[in-house]
Amino acid sequence: MTAEPAVAVRGLTKRFPVPFTRRLISAVEDVDLTVNRGEVYGLLGPNGSGKSTTLKIILGLVWPTSGSAKIFGRDSGEVHSRDSVGFLPENPYFYKFLTGTETLRFFGKLCGLHGEQLHQRIIDLLDLVGLTNAREQRLATYSKGMLQRIGLAQALINDPQLVVLDEPTAGVDPAGSRDIRDLIVDLRKRGVTVLLSSHLLGQVQEVCDRVGILANGKLVREGKLEELLAIENQTELVLENASEDLVKRVQELARDANARLVAQRRSTTTLERFFLDATDE
């Protein structure tokens, strides 16, 4: 059992018929993909590259034309493959006439939870995603970011071993985006496997252990992030309080050792960090 990876996709192909013609368009073509237990896996690709279709097949919402998708060794076609899975769709939308608490209670019941256990879980999750104050409001009054957070809470309601997030930060402001990132990091600490799709590379880089890149339905690259991005013969140094003299000496040392200084610049912060620092004050 422990040998089974969290997600195993083998030879996955999905073709959709084009209405009124006999042609098929291929959304996913022969994709192999493995998400190991406990890791954060990022599925990258431009819009329309087949990310969402792949996730839907893994979750049993769409059937593969050929190939297979398994969660913890169980085929995605089985209902029980989703016993320990949480899913947050892209731009989630729920019953807008329900309150936050009611929404979570509904999804909890769908996972077979009930009674005091469910009640406590709802309180904890509302606290976790910071919606305790809005818990009795109807979802119609929620902002996009709040909907995303209630969506996250429902994905976590059954304390899943695998969390699937489809574009989790789409349309969310930077603060919300950071919260989600922190949450993913926290999930990894607790040993939860996370599979997320995104077209925002910066984010993926910050949290993912491994990434796969989809283009036109094909998996064109896959591997550990540092390995994929490492430039074999280069090393970066970042110095603080370095005097002109020190910099000169480093350059000389490099020249003496037959190395070449490729770039030298003043460090800048990212715009995101700058924005967050500014809005935190």
Partner 1 sequence: MRRTLAIASNTLTDLTRQRVFYFILIFALILIGSSVFMSRFSFQQELQILKDISLGTMSILTSLLAILATARLIPQDIEDRTAYTILAKPVPRYQYVLGKLLGVLGLLVISLFIMSALFFAMLYTREQTLLSEAMRQYATAPREQLEDALRTVRAAGLKIDIAQAIGLLFMKASVLAATTLLVTTFATTNIFTVITMVFVYFIGHLQEIAREYWLQQTGNGWFTHLFLALVALIFPDLQAFNRVDQVVAGHALSLGIFTQTTLLGCFYIAVYTTLAVVMFYGKEL
Residue identified by tokens 């796969």 is 212
Q: Is 18 among the residues that bind partner 1 (CB under 8 A)?
A: no
Q: Residue 51 interacts with partner 1 (CB under 8 A)? A: no
Q: Compare residues 5 and 60 and give the one whose CB is closer to partner 1.
A: 60
SS3 assignment, position 189: helix
Q: What is the dihedral of CA 234, 235, 241, 247, to 10 degrees?
A: -50
Would you count residue 110 as binding partner 1 (CB under 8 A)? yes
- Residue 59 as a binder of partner 1 (CB under 8 A): the answer is yes
Stretch touching partner 1 by CB under 8 A, among 1-9, 100-108, 174-182, 187-195 = 100-108
- Using CB under 8 A, pick the residue from 39, 102, 124, 159 that binds partner 1: 102
Interaction between residue 92 and partner 1 (CB under 8 A): yes
Residues with Cβ < 8 Å from 67, sequence gap 6 or more? 9, 10, 11, 12, 13, 30, 31
Enumerate the β-bridge partners of residue 164: 87, 195
Cross-strand pairs, 197: 43, 166
Q: Which stretch binds partner 1 (CB under 8 A): 79-87, 170-178, 201-209, 268-276?
A: 79-87
Give yes or no for residue 61 binding partner 1 (CB under 8 A).
Answer: yes
One of 6, 33, 85, 187 touching partner 1 (CB under 8 A): 85
Q: Where are the alpha helices (DSSP H) in 157-218?
A: 174-189, 201-207
Does position 25 interact with partner 1 (CB under 8 A)? The reply is: no
Q: Shortest Cβ distance from residue 19 to partner 1 (Å)?
A: 9
Angle subtended at Cα 28 by Cα 22 and Cα 31, rounded to the nearest 5 degrees: 140
Considering the rule CB under 8 A, would residue 274 count as an interface residue with partner 1?
no
| Cα distances (angstroms) measured from residue 193 to each of 14, 37, 86, 114, 123 | 25, 6, 10, 25, 23
Q: Catalog residues that contact partner 1 under the rule CB under 8 A.
A: 56, 59-63, 79-80, 82-83, 85, 87-95, 97-98, 102, 106-107, 109-112, 114, 151, 154, 158, 164
